[in-house]
Amino acid sequence: MDTNRRRFLRRIAIGGGVLATGLPAFASHFSISDEEMDRSVAVEKAGQRFNMCGYAAPKIETVRIGVIGLGQRGSEAVERLSYIDGVEIVALCDKYPDRVTAAQKTLERMLRPKAKEYSGEEGWKALCESHDIDLVYTPTPWRLHTPIAVYAMENGKHAATEVPAAKTIDQCWELVETSEQTRKHCMMLENCCYDFFEQLTLNMTRQGMFGEIIHAEGAYLHDLTRDWLFNKNAYADMWRLKENESRNGNLYPTHGLGPIAQCMNINRGDRMDHMVSMSSNDFTLNDLAKEMAGKDPFFNEYVDKPYRGNMNTSLIRTYKGKTLKIQHDVSSPRPYSRIHVLSGTKGSVGKWPSPERVAFGHNWIKKEELDDLYKKYSPPIVEHIGAIAKDVGGHGGMDFIMDWRLIDCLRNGLPLDEDVYDAALWSSIGPLSESSVAKRSKTMDVPDFTRGGWTTNKPVDMTLNGGATTGVRTIKPLLKM
């Protein structure tokens, strides 16, 4: 089914007197020239519909959740969400029925009622069509994130989707348009925005401790090769390895990007203007594929593929003249890092390599001084739920803080910290980086998904005004059963 955007772009092409068959291919969905794409963006900026930034949906006393995708991330989400008061997990869905059965056992162990079951290739559609669900929570392979989120919103549900929320610019616009039209939230589950140091530095930024942020850096550097990409029991149907063999760019930009984008008030006072991206060659994936195939014929089909380069580096400039550097490498043997760098007119911060660091001059402050900053500037959400989050777990607690905050906002009718414009923009760096890499690091314009709303949108609110009413069930000992 065509989206309004696809129809609009076709009208632009036809109205310009150019036959689509005579134009170079754009992505894989339609044909349109760069000039006409620029014209379409100009129209989009002038025609914003309902603004979802700062939107407070009607309160939901008990949030009924359907979880689609019950692999590692999904099964962990079922357990975490079970701790939160005001939640009912009413539906479970996965392509593989045995995963649904395993999730039911988790609900039983967490003293939760049995959920309705959906399975099969398109079981998620029936779940989205159900009339007893408020929120569709989606930790599936990337290709399903946008289709499920859009279908959920079209069927009257809020959508929470794992990262990235979209794989193409067209999908990014589809998320934005559907959220605006249905007035349903679409939150990308960017858990790294809720890590403890990232929240500390966001709140310190809000308090003016670093002055004006001039430059920031983020990354996803995580060696996934043997344990994940080439593990037959890790990603269903080897879907993530296939992503790495068919695309070349920053495939996973949002973990490093989300926290620094919030600190720089992107979409809320500034916007990304343009970017360039460069990738190295692949020096590891094809070699490993050949090694694995020599041991197991299963991997023969993954030999001699156009794998993406090991390291991708993308540079972004904002409308107000600030810069961001985002990197991606999941195939080199190196320690895990998301890099988290902020450079301001009064100070700077850094994370990875550890320990976490803050400076207000030439030298990093001492650990005792950093401890004092944690006590003084940790935001209210950390003070309220941080200790419990560490006990529940999920990447040190940040997963649980994210889940709790989402539910508390829905129950109290509060705006979300991460809205659909963030989901679209942060995800768009993936396809934009691919286009730039394919064109010898050509500069790419970054779409303004807010259509000018960034000039008046308010920064993320860290005060918990009107919220913090959602409790947590004290059933931790049951985890040992």
DSSP state string for 189-242: --GGGGSHHHHHHHHHHHTTTT-SEEEEEEEEE---IIIIIT-TTTSGGGHHHH
Number of Cβ atoms within 10 Å of the Cβ of 279:
23
Tokens, residue 29: 């969905």
pLDDT computed for residue 47 by the predictor:
57
**Residue 213 lies inside a defined structural domain of this protein:** yes
**Residue 372 lies inside a defined structural domain of this protein:** yes
Distances (CA, A) of 373 to 4, 224, 369, 379, 389: 48, 34, 6, 11, 20
The residues, any chain, with a CB within 8 Å of residue 122's CB and separated by 6 or more, are none
pLDDT at 49 over 60: yes
Interatomic CA distance for residues 185 and 350, integer angstroms: 32
**Residue 293 lies inside a defined structural domain of this protein:** yes
**Residue 218 lies inside a defined structural domain of this protein:** yes
- Mean pLDDT score of the chain: 91
Which has more pLDDT, 92 or 477?
Answer: 92
Interatomic CA distance for residues 395 and 170, integer angstroms: 31
Distances (CA, A) of 268 to 7, 115, 172, 454: 29, 39, 18, 5
Whether residue 259 contacts residue 192, with contact meaning beta carbons closer than 8 Å, is answered with: yes
SS3 432: helix
pLDDT at 443 over 80: yes
pLDDT at 310 over 90: yes
Average of per-residue pLDDT across 303-327: 98
Dump pLDDT digits (tens) for 319-335: 999 999 999 999 999 99
pLDDT at 287 over 70: yes
pLDDT computed for residue 24 by the predictor:
30
pLDDT computed for residue 473 by the predictor:
85
pLDDT at 366 over 50: yes
Share of the chain above pLDDT 70, in %: 88
> Burial of 379 by CB count in 10 Å (0-12 exposed, 13-18 middle, 19+ buried)?
buried
pLDDT at 82 over 70: yes
- Report the candidate in 480, 477, 478, 426 with the shortest Cα–Cα distance to residue 145: 426
What string of DSSP letters covers 91-156? EEEESSHHHHHHHHHHHHHTT-PPPEEEESTTHHHHHHH-SS-SEEEE-S-GGGHHHHHHHHHHTT
Beta-ladder partners of 220: 328
Q: State the residue range of the domain holding 267.
A: 192-376+430-455
Number of independent structural domains in the chain: 2
Tokens, residue 385: 């739920």
The residues, any chain, with a CB within 8 Å of residue 252's CB and separated by 6 or more, are 163, 164, 220, 328, 330, 430
Whether residue 153 contacts residue 145, with contact meaning beta carbons closer than 8 Å, is answered with: no
pLDDT computed for residue 41 by the predictor:
54
**Residue 258 lies inside a defined structural domain of this protein:** yes
DSSP 8-state assignment for residue 451: T
pLDDT computed for residue 476 by the predictor:
53
pLDDT computed for residue 44 by the predictor:
52
Average of per-residue pLDDT across 455-475: 87
pLDDT at 148 over 90: yes
Please state whether the peptide bond connecting residue 353 to the residue before it is cis, i.e. omega within 30 degrees of 0.
yes
pLDDT computed for residue 34 by the predictor:
59
Whether residue 161 contacts residue 184, with contact meaning beta carbons closer than 8 Å, is answered with: no
Average of per-residue pLDDT across 416-440: 98
Q: Map tokens 């990197």 to a residue.
A: 327
pLDDT computed for residue 464 by the predictor:
87
pLDDT at 16 over 90: no
pLDDT at 471 over 80: yes
Q: What is the CATH number of the domain that holds 448?
A: 3.30.360.10
Whether residue 186 contacts residue 161, with contact meaning beta carbons closer than 8 Å, is answered with: yes
**Residue 281 lies inside a defined structural domain of this protein:** yes
**Residue 401 lies inside a defined structural domain of this protein:** no
End-to-end CA distance of the chain: 48
What is the pairing mode between strands 312-318 and 272-279?
A: antiparallel
pLDDT computed for residue 463 by the predictor:
84
**Residue 20 lies inside a defined structural domain of this protein:** yes
Report residue 10's pLDDT band, with 50, 70 and 90 as the boundaries. Answer: very low
pLDDT computed for residue 43 by the predictor:
37
Share of the chain above pLDDT 90, in %: 86
Average of per-residue pLDDT across 136-152: 98
